[in-house]
Structure 1
Amino acid sequence: MNALPIRPLCLALAVLTLSACAVGPDYQRPQLDSPAAFKQAAGWKAATPVDALQRGAWWELYGDAQLNQLIERLNANNQSLASAEAQYRQARALVRGARASFFPTIGADVGVTRAGQGGGSNTISTGDGISVSGSNQASVSKSYDASIGVSWELDLWGKLRRQLEADSASMDASAADLAGVRLSLQSELVQNYLQLRVLDEQKRLLDATVVAYQRALKLTDNQYNAGIVPKSDVTQARTQLKSTQAQAVDLEYQRAQLEHAIAVLVGVPPANFELAEVDQVPALPQVPVSVPSALLERRPDIAAAERRIIAANADIGVEKAAYYPDLTLSATGGYRSGSLNDWISAPNRFWSIGPSFAMTLFDGGIIRSRVEQAEASYDQTVADYRQTVLDGFREVEDYLVQLDVFERESAIQQEALDAARESLRLIENQYKAGTIDYNSVVNVQTSALSNERTLLGLRGSRLTASVQLIAALGGGWDDAKLQEAPLMQQSANANR
């Protein structure tokens, strides 16, 4: 009797051992037309393993301790990042479920059943016309059951393996999405912070200009009282002063907007957040530029797109496995008795074991339609992946040329500013000598201030473009870190 349960199990294990491959295509990375170098990268520093950008903490290139602290707060408290991290944990849980399907399912059942039959009255007629009435007594019984059942679906055709492959790739894609969200939020915070510091510099420029204009107004007013200049000179000086003060006030609104945006990014209400002014703007870093092929490993969005191809490719195998029969091993054993006293005893034992094959013989083309859907989904992910790569190449080229143009424009603007300052010095001397009117001074002062602000604006644009270039290069991230996707320091469960 002991040999009976073993034979079906041995047969199934032998079939499983012989089935060494899974149905469906194995993944191969789609072919890409990748250039050898970026067209706009001439003159840029080549990336090396010791570059700060390669280590991942790319914001440290700007050398600002307060910025580094803000990034740490963003990584710990940003709610958009918390949402992406929760999605990653969901994908990771799906992988655990896919792995669990390789193991048998064991269940236990203990129960008591009470059943009844019969009861009531009936009448029996005899042949001589005599009727006899009687009653049937109700029959009530109890049954006590305790059993353990085991069910195991054998992965003969690789359906479970393909499902695990698909779920694992989806988990990797979710990890890359998490890295992409983190990089995007970090980039947004760094850009806002740098623009805020540029506004602080513009505010210092305007405040200093206001002080200079106040002195000019006082001087002009004294000259008017002495009868040296007309009343119109005083009016022009006051107009210029008030206009510059208005520009300084306008910067307060712009700065407040950036400060509020940074507060939300680090996960605090704007009312509880404040950034004090500092007396300098972070310097423009030297960004190391890698070769285009490195983007395939360095950009999270490209890595996520490729992992979705892997998942779609595995889904084809999952759907094709429906053409083949499923083999399930089932075993049940326990005790069944009508009496509680001798329930757990040898005479009341029972067991059953045996394999079962199940397959679809006719479905009107449903399986084929699902296979075609999976194949079309795969083609879509391939196209999306190639488009993502092309967009990555374009973004890097755009920011490289943007930085180059801003650099050359800044050099020319500096020359314009130097000329405006020299012109202002000469005009002021001529006005003091009484050879020109104040209107000429105002025009040159306005031009000089405009050139100062334009140069500061270009500085801010160069800093912003440098952040965008770093993000387009992947921010120092590497897809080898997919399985090491860091979770947020502040879990969503802590807020419940």
Structure 2
Amino acid sequence: MDWWSDFGNRELQGLIDRALSNNPDIRIALNRIVQAKARAEQAAAGKYPGLSAPLVIAQQSPGGVTVGTAPAGGVSNVSSNRTSQRTYQASIRADWRLDIWGEQSALAESANFQLWRAVHERENVQRNLTASLATHYVEFLSLNDRLRIAVETEEVLSATLATIEKRVKAGDATLSELEQQRAAIFAIRATIPTLEQQKLDAIGAMAFLLGTVPGKLKLSNDGLDSLTIPSVAPGLPSALLLRRPDVRVAEAQLLAANADVNVARARILPPMDLSAQIGYSGIALSQLFQPQTLFWNVVDNLVVSIFDGG
């Protein structure tokens, strides 16, 4: 909901549109959504088998010495054999970890909640950005009014001072009244530099949120009368809590943590891995795809941890 449009100020609308396009925090939040989405897709892919195509060229050696049987007479027959052999293998392999304990499902669920959290974090960054920018802009308009009033007041007091000086010369006013008027002028003049500095600070804060420098930020000299006071939208406090993105971020973090607990519990139990492979293996590359070199295997692997140091 573009709540800032209820103020009816085109300059504020343009500033917020510019901030949403250029603010670096918004871009970081968007990149985190992309990252979380990729991790969610990766976690979901873990529930399905993986397919690979291993290509192996191996150089094998027997180790150098072969010990044979001992002949009659007690003399052992030891022969040296240092001939190495090269083998070639081309195959297709499928690996699949059965989700019998719900580990992969919990990982996917946790990743989805992290994606949910990233989306609401981006909404929360946008909420804070627009609120801060609108606050600084309203302060800027207020300072414009205060500066304008201070300058006008100084002009009126100066005109009054000239009148009092004439009255003093005519004997119709005292020197005390003259000095009081001068003190009032100096007091109002002392506030003008402070207001100008506060105005520059507000411009600098808005420029930071817009991702630019204060020198490139051109604003009007309008006051608070350029804003329309919005009406308060009716609703229950509970409905407001459901709309707040920071509350949803906390909820998503809690749900993701709960899913991580399920992952940790599942990893205590022994995993079961299935693998199947089919291909060709031979000692000569020219004979690799012959019918007699065809091989296949299916392996079911169940691993139980006995000791892992805690």
Indicate conservation of the 8 Å contact 2:9/2:226, yes or no. Answer: no
Distance 1:140 1:162, change over 3 A: closer
Which residue of the other structure, out of 170, 187, 197, is the alignment partner of 1:253? 197
* Gap change, CA 1:190 and 1:362, over 3 Å in 2: same
1:155 has 2:94 as partner: no
Distance 1:342 1:244, change over 3 A: same
CA deviation string 1:272-305 (max 9, x = no partner): 2232311434232212131122134211111112
1:144, CA displacement in angstroms? Answer: 1.5
Q: Distance in 1 between matches of 2:251 and 2:64?
A: 71
Match of 2:146 among 202, 212, 228: 202
Q: What is the 5 A alignment of 1:267-306? A: 267-279=211-223, 280-306=225-251
Q: Which structure 2 residues correspond to residues 345-360 of structure 1 after superposition, within 5 A?
A: 345-360=290-305
> What SS class does the counterpart of residue 207 from structure 2 fall into?
helix
Q: How does 1:70-469 map to 2 (within 5 A)?
A: 70-116=15-61, 138-279=82-223, 280-360=225-305
Report the CA distance between 1:119 and its aligned residue.
7.3
Quick check: 204-213 or 251-260, which moved more?
A: 204-213
The Cα of 1:138 is off from its aligned counterpart by 4.2
Residue aligned with 2:246, SS = helix
- Secondary structure of the 2:285 match is coil
User: 1:64 maps to what in 2?
Assistant: 9
Normalised by the length of structure 2, the TM-score is 0.87
TM-score under structure 1 normalisation?
Answer: 0.56
| Alignment check: 8 A CA contact 1:337 1:343 kept | yes
Opposite residue 94 of structure 2, the aligned amino acid is V
> 1:309/1:271 Cα in 2 relative to 1: closer, same or farther (>3 Å)?
same
Separation of aligned partners in 1, 2:164 and 2:37? 74
- Structure 1 residue runs without a partner (length 5+): 1-55, 121-134, 367-496
> How far does residue 73 in structure 1 lie from its aligned partner after superposition?
1.3
Change (3 A) 1:316 1:119: closer
Identity in percent:
29
Change (3 A) 1:258 1:107: same
CA distance in structure 1 between the partners assigned to 2:234 and 2:88 by the alignment: 75
Distance between the aligned counterparts of 1:200 and 1:338, measured in 2? 88
Residue deviations 1:358-409, cap 9 Å, x none? 3346779x5xxxxxxxxxxxxxxxxxxxxxxxxxxxxxxxxxxxxxxxxxxx
Q: Partners in 1 of 2:135 and 2:185 — Cα distance? A: 32
Residues 9, 228 of structure 2: 8 Å contact kept:
no
> Which stretch shows the higher mean deviation, 162-171 or 63-72?
162-171
Residues 439-460 of structure 1 show CA distances to partners (whole Å, capped at 9, x for unaligned) of xxxxxxxxxxxxxxxxxxxxxx
Residue 67 of structure 1: how far off its partner (Å) = 0.6
Shift of 1:206: 1.2
3-state SS, counterpart of residue 71 of structure 1? helix
Supply the distance in 1 between the matched residues of 2:277 and 2:304 (Cα, whole angstroms).
23
Instruction: Quote the Cα distance in structure 2 between the aligned partners of 1:84 and 1:118.
Output: 58
Which whole-Å CA distance do the structure 1 matches of 2:226 and 2:190 have between them? 23
Deviation at 1:247, TM superposition (A): 1.2
> Against the structure 1 CA distance between its residues 189 and 119, is the aligned structure 2 distance closer, same or farther, given a 3 Å change threshold?
closer
Cα deviation, residue 357, structure 1? 2.5
What secondary structure does 2:53 align onto? strand
Q: Per-residue deviation at 1:336?
A: 1.3
Cα deviation per residue 1:158-195 (whole Å; 9 max; x = unaligned)?
Answer: 22112211221122122112211210111111111101
Greater mean deviation of Cα atoms: 191-200 or 150-159:
150-159
1:341 is paired with a residue whose SS is helix
- The separation in 1 between residues aligned to 2:137 and 2:259, in whole angstroms, is 44
